[in-house]
Structure 1
């Protein structure tokens, strides 16, 4: 007897607006109503021009989907033999977006109001007329239902940021209601697969609890002790568990004492005895070791001892993980330790890769995570306003060694806690923790994104020390505390006992929650650059914390991307109506231009799009470099981990736009991506000079007010710099650092290089030069500006370099740079210059990849070799500051 028959109901669907009579063909399920309407030419692409406004009516309608399917042959045969009780048939809806009523042959079988919940419905009444069945799903407007729910619960003061209050009680991707980087596209539809399952027995809810002992940071001598838990539905004489590694069996055992004669509606729980795996091959984050993965198979075996009635497969990665929160000289630490090794979590924040989530294929997920890994990033944070992502996302993270910080889906709101809402949230959390807990890449569950900030902003009731009664929280003006500090941690304890839970992001210790950054405890969102005080991005090194889980700087995407979503050539200029419309960040016109004009010379005439794009990208890359290399410096050494990680807001976009993303919607990398990659290199050198803010800094301590009487020659007369080497390598490295001082005007050295030999400490920051003051031999001011260029040499080869420029860049003259781009084979070029060059950038586009971009050029250094795929190298435009 076969164990399971699965029929995916992906084709043959139709859809229509409730008020229409004509059904239209739906290409496939999973899907959504917007993409189907686009295929029929009924609406334009909302990602293009101002079309988002043209499709707003779609969200206000009720939509119907339907399909027909045949009764499964196995169920027909069982019914003919009078054995229908021995075969179960389930309809499985992995995800319905969002308010959905499902009927089968005219009978209501399901009502759903949570996008994040899977439903399994036992089918007991098939059609006997030719065994043809009609399945129909009716989707109601999420916004209307949300407003109705808010009105029905006046006991809750719905405080919702970014959008209107309708999203507060709706368990749907919160960004669908619009965000400061994404459109308002309130779609609906079966966004995950719908399938029919026929079976005689089923294995579900497989969980592996394990410990790794005698670790000591090495596999040798280690041992994994594991217990296997599972639920089995229906009859079974035995349970068999098999663990394999790289196709080779590690163990296989069968227990026959589990005889079960119960029906298909009865689940019985199986727990194995403790199983020992000697010298397990550990799973490591990228750069620290291999991503070793085992496959576990749990089977229900029939009475004949041979027939497999059901099987469930699961990936297992053996590793240990800790969130180290210890008192130290800076406050309380916050960093991850994997397999006994401290890991600096440099990475980025993730939002849905498409506003229409079902369009993101497994390959596209892998392409995204490959970008993360190739960019030397070791962590990605799944933000709480999107979705619990597809299994393909986490599988890619497992395979490529990228750690996952996983938010629960709550963001920027004070959520309600009426009973039906809490029950829905509990189901949502339980299902998704259960679905994702086996992934070794997932190292932390986080309760929400920025919800605690509302406590301080609106003076909500919250006393972390005095009030420890969850029931009292429900009666306070901040009832959502019950979700974050009681319900969700309890779910995590029940479903994944060894998992790490963090109440929110940002979150300190309950006393310093978030709106006011506390650099001594927890994780922080540092938005006093761009938002808040709008401080210079050069101040970021002094604005860090124990773990920076958000910060960012906006930039335009490359010109080719802009041309794909701005169809009118007359609109392709900075600040056009279309480009402003696609930038959803409030006040972006003032903020972007303020940072731009503080640092760079204004673009000719204000309408040179290519130059404007390049300058915004250079500015964003500069901000990333200042932040990542300086905060990584704060990684320090064991026992003095001042900063445990940095996650830029944001990695990606959900549509073509102007935003904080370092890679655009089409997976085209901005120069900032490469700046992060260089700063997070396994072994890298960094240089930073003292910053003088020539726009807001008081001229003298004697002045008692801010003044415009500043001295712009400070960058010539008072030069102080630091040089350090950061390493994530575990062995000691012997190296040499060479620091050069090169005239921006002439390209000549202004003094002899500074050379230091050193031992680079493992997994630490090694200081090379601290507070080094540059003075001329006669004590007078320097006559010209120069760059400070540091290079790291190991075994006679340069393994990394960094360049520090005098700020602001706009004061510098970049005439006559002598840039040369020479062919170095059919798919490579070498780039060099006679004088220092700031931000050499190839204008990237979809389908084209370059190995490096947005780099500086310093004469006397080796040429920068760039591998180029997807286009002939001489056909790819390039530019640099001042060209």
Structure 2
């Protein structure tokens, strides 16, 4: 009765028939006890139907953390539909020889979360994981007509009470509302986060289908690039088949690699033969058992490599594996395939002076990462998939070459990875754990093992996958949760130290694994336990860097980590400029604007972890007032929220800009920045993202876009440890494999907006390096410096443009002078930048 976790990548002969007949939803109201029956949205979340029927208001108000709490007690969400058996069910040649029928499975791509499923009044399936698909064989259970399918979803909160909670397990923060998540395989953000509403939800959130599988078929294929040499590449393939045949002597296989055609094929297994391209490599292999593997050597002159964005073209091929029985093709599997190797070179520790390493290498070439963190694109997950493509277009526009899929959310669909494959965007994929110590008992470890094996097997053929990461900030919790004194260490966590790496090693050994982000070696914990006040000599080589200090730049410089996988302004964050979103939160903002707040005595758990709480707003408001006084020497009022938004976004934009440019200027001592984060999942007046829920970019978006140009000139403040701290230096950053050279000119813009020539020169920067071009004279008073250099095409970007017209001249800015800055002058400078950077009105 327990579900299988089926691979959605299948052979071409497998047919999927989505159940699109009407669904109903029945449940008992948690307060009135009244029984309700209504039309149901499938795929959907219950909140969609409750709001439509007037039983629920806004499911994610900006100022009520427990707005939907009563609905979490509903224990009988019952979905029901009636359908006819599909007529596509036939018999393959192999099945006909044995008098066998094709196999039919009932597939749920996403049920949230604890559910029982009845088919024609027979209990056929039990589910306890919303993050993976579930299936059950129904070949002998279907009627030709009028099959009744009923799904009862239970209260996840009530179900969680059945488990025992030991002293090791820990859920994010001390707030009891999150404790239920420990044993529940649900998206962690659903219990509320600084970027998400408290919305535990329920529903059938992804499609329901009947999957008709031929009796003889290719069951699984793993393609990989094993070695890249000057004269050849060595490809590997592991495969398995399903068949009722006992005698396999008539069986054989064929592997083909084709130039990409114009067919409909995709990473999810689409047919690539329509408009198929030229075969560049073919190999026939024996099939003597139901599973096997082979390697094959391909001349380098016959193929091109897949490269991350900026480093070359993301060349894809159409890969085919055919299973032949006699002279006929019994099954065919196909997918897009990129020839590439990926490595993560990392040390256990780094020192205060940066004596360590954390760098990605693709095809033997070190890759500097400019990336963004990725959250689910909607708080109601059934609505998230439709928003993915638009968000990816934004990442492309921002010149990102990596996306980190955060462990507090969901596993995205193949369309997400297909896009990244096509556009050369590397994917750092977290497993779905965040800011917690997960249970380590045998039952839970088996649950995690099954989930991890499915995730890895499902997505491993995508060339964009660069890293499997065990979680988000689980190791880091040992610093924050008072666990060091309990003689506990990160290595005691069997989830990210044993179960997850074993799944990667077994099913995707050619892709790196990172235990946790950031990873904390036990010796880091030991040192801090011995010497809590420091100084310390051991640091993580990859870290999440959130300087809480008002002076973001000085605090960011102090991090010795090589790779920053989360960063951005802390306590304060960028503000939406969409009037409809501001109006939602303005009543709370006005109510609390003059309320005093002391972060030292407030409940940090509530102020930082729940956007919908008043304490969270008070914390943000306090940070805004402190930082605006520091930067501009004045305060701002909600009476002119647009002026407030501009001031907040200037500060936030400066933080993002400095983090990116400072790290790029220190290449290869620094090896990448993945800033937090791309876009909002629900309407928020302010949040740690650069695009709001209505898709309007905030001001920092445009500054990040310039700072992440693959070939970029940057004016950066000199290090405090340099001979002339506080001076300005001009850097060339080149994240491509071609020369970066040309003439530059620097102009200074005074407080009135007048532009004056300041400096000019010639630069040449080698491929994949950064170069200090020398000091830049600091203008008198407060001013904005603009550095310009020629535009043009960059190899590795053709065919994957964001749709913006090519520019003849690039520009980047730097503001210099003593604080506090004149806000009127800054507003003039920003107006100029809006025109230069192509800011949308």
Residues 34, 58 of structure 1: 8 Å contact kept: no
Equivalent in the alignment of 2:627? 595
TM-score (norm 1): 0.78
Q: CA deviation at 1:679?
A: 0.9
Equivalent in the alignment of 1:873? none
Which residue of the other structure, out of 657, 660, 669, is the alignment partner of 2:688? 660
Structure 1 residue runs without a partner (length 5+): 216-220, 261-267, 464-472, 636-640, 693-716, 776-781, 818-835, 841-854, 858-862, 869-875, 877-883
Q: CA deviation at 1:423?
A: 0.6
* 2:362 maps to 1:341: no
Q: CA deviation at 1:31?
A: 1.7
SS at match of 2:458: helix
* Greater Cα shift, 440-449 or 682-691: 682-691
* Greater Cα shift, 339-348 or 86-95: 86-95
Residues 177, 186 of structure 1: 8 Å contact kept: yes
* 2:828 maps to 1:837: yes
Equivalent in the alignment of 2:408? 385
Residues 374, 678 of structure 2: 8 Å contact kept: yes
Residues 285, 402 of structure 1: 8 Å contact kept: yes
Q: CA deviation at 1:393?
A: 1.1
Give runs of aligned pairs for residues 212-223 of structure 1, distance below 5 A: 212-215=227-230, 221-223=231-233
SS at match of 2:624: helix
* 2:242 maps to 1:232: yes
Measure the CA separation in 1 of the matches of 2:365 and 2:546: 30
> How has the CA–CA distance of structure 1 residues 104 and 377 changed in structure 2, closer, same or farther, with 3 Å as cutoff?
same
SS at match of 2:43: coil
* 2:305 maps to 1:276: no
Which residue of the other structure, out of 702, 705, 708, is the alignment partner of 1:680? 708
Which residue of the other structure, out of 43, 49, 52, is the alignment partner of 2:56? 43
Over alpha carbons, which structure has the higher Rg? 1
Q: CA deviation at 1:146?
A: 2.2
> How has the CA–CA distance of structure 1 residues 316 and 418 changed in structure 2, closer, same or farther, with 3 Å as cutoff?
same
Residues 68, 134 of structure 1: 8 Å contact kept: yes
Give runs of aligned pairs for residues 724-873 of structure 1, distance below 5 A: 724-744=731-751, 747=754, 749=756, 753-770=758-775, 784-792=781-789, 798-808=809-819, 810-812=820-822, 814=824, 837-840=828-831, 856=833, 864=836, 866=838
Measure the CA separation in 2 of the matches of 1:669 and 1:724: 27
> How has the CA–CA distance of structure 1 residues 127 and 494 changed in structure 2, closer, same or farther, with 3 Å as cutoff?
closer
Note the alpha carbon deviations across 1:186-210, whole angstroms, 9 max, x for none: 1112222221122332322211133
Note the alpha carbon deviations across 1:86-118, whole angstroms, 9 max, x for none: 332211222221111111112211111112232
Residues 232, 300 of structure 1: 8 Å contact kept: no
Measure the CA separation in 2 of the matches of 1:609 and 1:289: 44
Note the alpha carbon deviations across 1:203-247, whole angstroms, 9 max, x for none: 2221113324224xxxxx443433342333444753443332222
> How has the CA–CA distance of structure 1 residues 428 and 583 changed in structure 2, closer, same or farther, with 3 Å as cutoff?
farther
Measure the CA separation in 2 of the matches of 1:565 and 1:575: 15
SS at match of 1:354: coil
* 2:611 maps to 1:611: no
Equivalent in the alignment of 1:61? 74
Equivalent in the alignment of 1:108? 123
Equivalent in the alignment of 2:497? 485
Q: CA deviation at 1:335?
A: 1.3
> How has the CA–CA distance of structure 1 residues 102 and 157 changed in structure 2, closer, same or farther, with 3 Å as cutoff?
same
Which structure is richer in relative contact order (CA contacts within 8 A, separation 6 or more)? 2
Give runs of aligned pairs for residues 499-578 of structure 1, distance below 5 A: 499-512=511-524, 521-529=540-548, 533=549, 535-537=551-553, 539-543=555-559, 545-553=561-569, 554-560=572-578, 562-564=579-581, 566-567=583-584
Measure the CA separation in 1 of the matches of 2:223 and 2:467: 17
Q: Count how many residue pairs are aligned between Structure 1 and Structure 2.
A: 756
Note the alpha carbon deviations across 1:294-325, whole angstroms, 9 max, x for none: 2223344455x33x443332221111212123
> How has the CA–CA distance of structure 1 residues 633 and 587 changed in structure 2, closer, same or farther, with 3 Å as cutoff?
same
SS at match of 2:111: coil
* Greater Cα shift, 752-761 or 104-113: 752-761
Measure the CA separation in 2 of the matches of 1:753 and 1:234: 79
SS at match of 1:148: coil
Q: CA deviation at 1:495?
A: 0.5
Note the alpha carbon deviations across 1:804-834, whole angstroms, 9 max, x for none: 22242x443736x9xxxxxxxxxxxxxxxxx
Measure the CA separation in 2 of the matches of 1:634 and 1:568: 41
SS at match of 2:313: coil
Q: CA deviation at 1:287?
A: 1.5
Aligned alpha-carbon RMSD (Å): 3.7
Q: CA deviation at 1:389?
A: 1.1
Measure the CA separation in 2 of the matches of 1:647 and 1:85: 53
Measure the CA separation in 1 of the matches of 2:457 and 2:437: 26
> How has the CA–CA distance of structure 1 residues 550 and 253 changed in structure 2, closer, same or farther, with 3 Å as cutoff?
closer
SS at match of 2:824: coil
Q: CA deviation at 1:773?
A: 6.4
Residues 398, 439 of structure 1: 8 Å contact kept: yes
Measure the CA separation in 2 of the matches of 1:55 and 1:454: 28
Equivalent in the alignment of 2:260? 246
TM-score (norm 2): 0.81
Equivalent in the alignment of 1:704? none
Note the alpha carbon deviations across 1:686-718, whole angstroms, 9 max, x for none: 1134699xxxxxxxxxxxxxxxxxxxxxxxx99
Residues 176, 186 of structure 1: 8 Å contact kept: yes
